[in-house]
Structure 1
Amino acid sequence: MPDAADRSVQAAEMAVFERRSLSLGAAAAAGLPGRFECFRSGGLRASMATASHYGFLNIIEGLTHQTVELLSEVLKTFPEPDQVTIVAASPSQMLADQLLGEGYAPASVRPIAYQRLSTSIRVGGIGTDAWQVQEVSTRNDTTLFLDLLEVGYAATSEIRALIRAEHALPMVRGFIAFRNEEPLAVAAMSLHPTGAVLGGASTLPAARGRGAQTALLSHRVQLARTLGLPLVTATAAPGTPSIRNLAKLGFTIVERTGWCLNDASRA
């Protein structure tokens, strides 16, 4: 039987999968290039984006001793199986050895952070008192939020289109951080049965390092607690300021292992 930590990771992963499903659905509805799909198969959770711009969205999660036998069949549903990242939260050495023996190779880690809302949270921090956080509530707010989000991401036009499509969804709540009445940072949150996902955050370059994202994190976590959600979760690239901010606020960081088909398997 999974322990409390395992159950928390599973709940966090399920919430992130639900958020990714919203994102891919928004991309498809917006007419972005390629095919977008999220599906489940016997405990594995897969997301697919066929256009090369969105290759980072090709993910299979939920890999365990019980689901590894399904992996090869799920991979066959992808046009380019070698471009899929396979994620295991905490594989045993036996599972890792099995993957290596079946032609998979280690890939970069895929951190996920979570915090149970029954525990205390470290709020505030250096400079956060200077920030005022406001939730998006009007059409003008939405336009400002999306513009700030896009500017803060130094991304290609294709990625910016994906970001705007996802964060324009009414299910994704947006927040703007002001300093001296000037809007300088934004972040988003979506609510799911297993928890809240803190996804989508951006700070204008000139305002970085001043505590805006810490203020936005604290605000969203406190809101999720008020709403009675069991946990909050987020994903971020390893070694980034986002991961460090989450750790400072008491989130548990799980560096899930990544796997992919190796060169020999591709041949």
Structure 2
Amino acid sequence: MLTEAEEVIHARTAIACEAATGLPGTFSAWREDGLLAVLATAPELRFLRTISGVTEQNLPSAIRLAGASCWDGDPPTLVLPAGLNPAGLVPDGVRPIAILPLTGLAASDADVDDSPDIDVFLRVLLDGYESGGVVTEFIAAEHRDPRIRRSLLVQDGVPISAAALSPHGEGVLLGGSATPRAHRGKGAQARLMAHGLAAAAREGRRFAVATAVEGSPSLSNLRRAGARVHLRQAFRLG
């Protein structure tokens, strides 16, 4: 299941890289020897520079790819499943991935707009992220792509929280969700997530995937919803 989940994440990242073509820098997502590689040259987006899909069998190929010239001397992060701890690599934190089976989900009664005006959606989403510069431009480009499904939670006629997902085969990627500071603490993200998961289940999707920072509210919401969280290990070349 972890392999399937990483495939879903990579498919969504490929969409984001295609959508960001007009931004400064280079964005690319590709497959090589069973590995899933992502290149982003903007320093602010270095967290995207990864090699995943790593197993004990293709680990040597992953290390060779991490040392390739395409990275221009700034090697990517190798994201490995828990328990795979090769000698010679330097630990660099964890990259949690949450996997949630889409079974037994109740319909949501939240007031959700599933066809929001894109500019309104982006305003709410970016207000919630509180980012800036290249990161904001990248998020906006990704979430303007027509392959991304956008939703807004509405309260008393006012959009208070934004969330996005994208379908990929039997799975969906939950990605791009935020609530502006003035509306936090109301359970908005949990309600939007429940709405999106129920819709995906009705379509016949089998599982949902999300990435989040360990200790974050997003990861807590996913755990409460029944997700299994895999704490993948991040490494860099020594």
Q: TM-score, normalised by structure 2?
A: 0.94
Distance 1:134 1:160 in 2: 23
Q: Does 1:42 align with 2:56?
A: no
Equivalent residue for 1:23, pick from 3, 12, 16? 16
Distance 1:213 1:204 in 2: 11
1:90 deviates by: 2.7
Paired position in structure 2 for 1:110 = 95
Contact 2:167 2:173 in 1 (8 A): yes
Give the AA of the match of 1:19.
R
1:247 deviates by: 0.6
Q: Does 1:120 align with 2:104?
A: yes
Which structure 2 segments of 5+ residues have no match?
none
Which structure 1 segments of 5+ residues have no match?
1-7, 263-267
Q: TM-score, normalised by structure 1?
A: 0.84
Q: Which has the larger radius of gyration?
A: 1
1:123 deviates by: 7.7
Contact 1:145 1:174 in 2 (8 A): yes
1:120 deviates by: 2.8
Paired position in structure 1 for 2:49 = 58
* Identical pairs, percent: 33
Matching of residues 62-101 of structure 1 within 5 Å: 62-75=53-66, 76=68, 77-82=70-75, 84-92=76-84, 96=85, 99-100=86-87
Distance 2:170 2:105 in 1: 19
Paired position in structure 1 for 2:113 = 134
Q: Does 1:205 align with 2:213?
A: no
Matching of residues 124-203 of structure 1 within 5 Å: 131-136=110-115, 141-203=117-179
Give the AA of the match of 2:13.
R
1:236 deviates by: 0.6
Distance 1:27 1:148 in 2: 20
Contact 2:161 2:188 in 1 (8 A): yes
How many pairs are equivalent?
Answer: 236
Distance 1:12 1:91 in 2: 18
Give the AA of the match of 2:26.
R
